Chains A and B, each alone.
Chain A
Amino acid sequence: MFMFASLAASIATGSLASLPALLALSTEPLAHLRLLDILVIVTYFAMVLWIGFYLKGRSNTSEEFFMAGREMTAWIAGLSFVSANMGSLELMGWAGSAYQYGILAVNWYWVGAIPAMLFLGLMMMPFYYVSKIHSVPGYLNLRYGGEARSVAAVAFAIEMILMSGINMFAMAVVMKVVLGWSLNFSIVVSSVAVALYVGLGGLRSAIFNEVLQFVLIWGGALLVPILGLVQAGGPAGLKARIISTLGSDSYLHVWRDTGSFSANPMGVHWTGIIFGLGFVISFGYWTTDFLVVQRVLAARNLHAAKMAPIIGSFFKMAVPFIVILPGLLGLVLLQNPDGSRRQLVGEDVVTACAASSTGVPSNQAGCSAAMTKTNLTADYQKKVLSGAPGSELHTYNQALPLMMVRYMGPGLLGLGITALIAGFMSGMAGNVSAFSTVWTYDIYKPLMRKSKPDSHYVMVGRMSIVVGVLVSIGAAYLVQQFHGIMDYVQALFSIFVAPLLAAILFGMFWKRATRMAGFLGLLLGIIFSAGLFLWVKFNPAALAIVALSPDAKPMAENVYRAGWAFLFATLVIVVVSLLTKPRPVAELDGLVYGATKLPAADAVPFYKSEWMWASVVVVLFIALNIIFW
């Protein structure tokens, strides 16, 4: 889940890794589309292709193709910034997490995002923006030199392209489970559409489609919590139903029960939430991951670049309304065909109870054993074991689609499904466009062809998008054949993010950090982090050392691994910096806090000031955490 990108929620919840399992056992699709729904979906594809073809004429120079001409308004950059992080797996995964763990899941939207977004806008954007870099590795190049840039660029390019493939595979699986579509159909249609609209319109096309996706997600998903709240009797009714169903109000508190690991449904401690999630993981993702930072770099001026993450933070705070709330509503409203409360279960239970052609679970003993770990009633367990009609099991991650099917008839259901498709596609487009920029500016140009005309690099960028999509397709099929690969790909982000955060923070806020320190901190930090991952992978007993507890879940392991890697990279950077000669301060202008004369801020009225709006965000953020304490 710590990827926060479109694959975010899935890692903590394990939903991504279990996608292939879902595929193997899916029988009847959750929903059946009608002609009107198909029309809604076709309209979306027509729109994205229209945008791609329209923007082709406005993507002729490298600045236009890779940086969208740096002319995005704060609103467009801000919506795109937050939308690049709102993938469908995240929406479905977090709705499932809310069903499973309660409102605690909201931390990944609030403390796990808002402080970092504000820090990016207010403190870091001046350096990113003023230096006119094209990518985050580009900043490392200016600050530390080509070695650090190359390490970051290669790691990032590999991560992006594999993520795109996983996104593609995930979309195909979800479409198969929800709609019964074939895997090949989903992969071919999504990859052709993404290659066309990003290849034609470049970053501008990706950004436009992310804004489109943002509107679609709200238009397609907002109806679920509205109707759910009506049916539950409003917020008070929902609260009463949850307490009466679960016999506890622990699901309704964000912080109150995080004083010990065992007191809350997720098994996390507040120190882990604040330092692991709120600092290392969150700052690592929101301030250094080029996928999201690229959106802000496309802003038309420094004020817009500062405002974009702040605007995004307002919407980020609101996303739980369409993600967490449907999960909580599903907990008390979803019903079986016989009217009893429907209880969702983990993928492991659904896998153990996979039915044979007769509809009866083929492994009766395994299914029975798996169900004993759930809250399913004895009667319902018997029905499942006998393959009785209407006794199928559904996973936590199906909470959102199940709620959609519950309330949405023809047309509206198509809109909800389109929102999911748009989420997947814009996730792929974001990965591929970021890959194209890093490949062209940080690998191809400095290492292969240094002095070519601008048009040459645009051509390389377009070709790298096509190649990127083709490699993504290969990755999608590879994952389908070898499911274990997914674990490693998911780990890439968590391995890479902490050392990168250390290198950038020290580079931006410590004049003494040297070229060799940045390079070694990044490289050794990545090796150290990968070593911890492999250590636990091949020796599960090491979990007790890495995550400080043998019972730690993958989520906790990610947090602690990132924390150790950050500390290790910090140590390397500090020690090596003190042993090597720093650059003259004069060379650090525009790159380091305290050595830079920032351009005078445009005179804006107070109601347009980024500090004023950031203050509003802080007040809202604190208020929400107090209200849901």
Chain B
Amino acid sequence: MRTGIQIWFFIGVMLFIYGVLILGYGLSELVTGIVAPVELSYLHAPIWWGGTLFILGLAYIIKFRPRRAGK
């Protein structure tokens, strides 16, 4: 796509929202000490996986943010 909103921007927004939600939950687990009863919970996957989604999403939003045509 050469103009308008690119698919990568939509993907960035989606990953960013998921990153915020999952990272936020992971941090709340860390703070409260109440951890979901899943295997390997001590690895705190929501923090690093949510963090990865957050960073990737933010990077895509910035790189592929919509610009006015002609710029």
Interface residues of A (CB under 8 A from B): 36, 39-40, 43-44, 47, 50-51, 54, 58, 71-73, 76, 208, 211-212, 215-216, 219, 223, 227, 230-231, 405-412, 415
Residues in chain A near residue B22, CB distance under 8 A: 36, 40, 411-412, 415
Residues in chain A near residue B35, CB distance under 8 A: 409
Residues in chain A near residue B10, CB distance under 8 A: 47, 50-51, 208, 212
Q: Which residues of B23-71 are within 8 A (CB) of A?
A: 25-26, 29, 35-41, 43, 45-46, 49-50, 53
Residues in chain B near residue A51, CB distance under 8 A: 10
Residues in chain A near residue B13, CB distance under 8 A: 47
15 A-B pairs whose Cβ atoms sit less than 8 Å apart in the complex: A40-B21, A47-B14, A72-B1, A73-B1, A208-B7, A211-B7, A212-B7, A215-B14, A215-B15, A216-B14, A227-B40, A227-B45, A409-B45, A411-B18, A411-B25
Residues in chain A near residue B50, CB distance under 8 A: 411
Residues in chain A near residue B46, CB distance under 8 A: 409, 411-412
- Contact residue range for chain B? 20 to 34
Interface residues of B (CB under 8 A from A): 1-2, 4-5, 7, 10-11, 13-15, 17-18, 21-22, 25-26, 29, 35-41, 43, 45-46, 49-50, 53
A407:B39 contact, CB within 8 angstroms: yes
Find the B residue at minimum CB distance from A333: B39
- Measured in the bound complex, the distance between the Cα atoms of B29 and A40 in whole Å is 18
B21:A54 contact, CB within 8 angstroms: no
The A interface, classified by DSSP as helix, strand, loop or mixed, is: helix
B18:A43 contact, CB within 8 angstroms: yes
A71:B38 contact, CB within 8 angstroms: no
Find the B residue at minimum CB distance from A214: B11
Residues in chain B near residue A208, CB distance under 8 A: 7, 10
Residues in chain B near residue A211, CB distance under 8 A: 7, 11
The B interface, classified by DSSP as helix, strand, loop or mixed, is: helix
Identify the 5 closest CB pairs spanning chains A and B, nearest first: A409-B36, A411-B22, A411-B25, A409-B38, A208-B7
CB within 8 A of A227: which of B5, B7, B21, B39?
Answer: B39
Residues in chain B near residue A407, CB distance under 8 A: 38-40, 45
- Measured in the bound complex, the distance between the Cα atoms of B53 and A44 in whole Å is 15
Known contacts A215-B11, A223-B45: does B21 contact A411 (CB below 8 Å)?
Answer: yes
Find the B residue at minimum CB distance from A300: B2
- Measured in the bound complex, the distance between the Cα atoms of B25 and A54 in whole Å is 31
- Measured in the bound complex, the distance between the Cα atoms of B4 and A73 in whole Å is 14
Residues in chain B near residue A44, CB distance under 8 A: 14
A58:B4 contact, CB within 8 angstroms: yes
- Measured in the bound complex, the distance between the Cα atoms of B34 and A145 in whole Å is 68
- Measured in the bound complex, the distance between the Cα atoms of B29 and A326 in whole Å is 26
A408:B38 contact, CB within 8 angstroms: yes
B14:A43 contact, CB within 8 angstroms: yes
B15:A219 contact, CB within 8 angstroms: yes
Known contacts A36-B21, A415-B18: does B45 contact A212 (CB below 8 Å)?
Answer: no
Residues in chain A near residue B25, CB distance under 8 A: 36, 409-411
How far apart are A339's CB and chain B's nearest CB, in angstroms? 12
- Additional 4 contacts, C-beta under 8 A, given A409-B29, A409-B45: A39-B21, A43-B21, A212-B7, A231-B39
A409:B40 contact, CB within 8 angstroms: no
How far apart are A264's CB and chain B's nearest CB, in angstroms? 31
Residues in chain B near residue A223, CB distance under 8 A: 45, 49
- Measured in the bound complex, the distance between the Cα atoms of B6 and A54 in whole Å is 11
B11:A212 contact, CB within 8 angstroms: yes
A219:B53 contact, CB within 8 angstroms: yes
Known contacts A54-B5, A58-B4, A411-B21: does B15 contact A230 (CB below 8 Å)?
Answer: no
- Measured in the bound complex, the distance between the Cα atoms of B22 and A36 in whole Å is 8
- Measured in the bound complex, the distance between the Cα atoms of B23 and A40 in whole Å is 13
Residues in chain A near residue B49, CB distance under 8 A: 223, 412
How far apart are B18's CB and chain A's nearest CB, in angstroms? 6
How far apart are A283's CB and chain B's nearest CB, in angstroms? 29
Residues in chain B near residue A39, CB distance under 8 A: 21
Residues in chain A near residue B26, CB distance under 8 A: 411
B14:A71 contact, CB within 8 angstroms: no
A43:B17 contact, CB within 8 angstroms: yes
Find the A residue at minimum CB distance from B23: A411
A219:B18 contact, CB within 8 angstroms: yes
Known contacts A208-B10, A223-B45, A227-B43: does B4 contact A410 (CB below 8 Å)?
Answer: no
How far apart are B15's CB and chain A's nearest CB, in angstroms? 7
- Measured in the bound complex, the distance between the Cα atoms of B15 and A219 in whole Å is 9
A410:B36 contact, CB within 8 angstroms: yes
How far apart are A44's CB and chain B's nearest CB, in angstroms? 7
A406:B17 contact, CB within 8 angstroms: no
Residues in chain B near residue A219, CB distance under 8 A: 15, 18, 53
Of B14, B35, B41, most buried by chain A (CB within 10 Å of CB) is B14
Residues in chain B near residue A54, CB distance under 8 A: 5
Residues in chain A near residue B1, CB distance under 8 A: 71-73, 76
Residues in chain B near residue A410, CB distance under 8 A: 25, 36
Known contacts A71-B2, A411-B46: does B38 contact A406 (CB below 8 Å)?
Answer: yes
How far apart are A168's CB and chain B's nearest CB, in angstroms? 23
How far apart are A407's CB and chain B's nearest CB, in angstroms? 5
How far apart are A548's CB and chain B's nearest CB, in angstroms? 45
- Measured in the bound complex, the distance between the Cα atoms of B5 and A212 in whole Å is 14
- Measured in the bound complex, the distance between the Cα atoms of B36 and A208 in whole Å is 34
How far apart are A333's CB and chain B's nearest CB, in angstroms? 8
Residues in chain B near residue A408, CB distance under 8 A: 38, 45
How far apart are A54's CB and chain B's nearest CB, in angstroms? 6
Residues in chain B near residue A406, CB distance under 8 A: 38-39
- Measured in the bound complex, the distance between the Cα atoms of B14 and A43 in whole Å is 8
Known contacts A407-B38, A410-B25, A415-B22: does B4 contact A230 (CB below 8 Å)?
Answer: no
Find the A residue at minimum CB distance from B14: A47
Residues in chain B near residue A72, CB distance under 8 A: 1
- Measured in the bound complex, the distance between the Cα atoms of B18 and A410 in whole Å is 12
- Measured in the bound complex, the distance between the Cα atoms of B18 and A579 in whole Å is 63
Of B4, B35, B39, B40, most buried by chain A (CB within 10 Å of CB) is B39
Of A76, A211, A223, A411, most buried by chain B (CB within 10 Å of CB) is A411
B40:A212 contact, CB within 8 angstroms: no
How far apart are B61's CB and chain A's nearest CB, in angstroms? 13
Residues in chain B near residue A415, CB distance under 8 A: 18, 22
Find the A residue at minimum CB distance from B19: A219
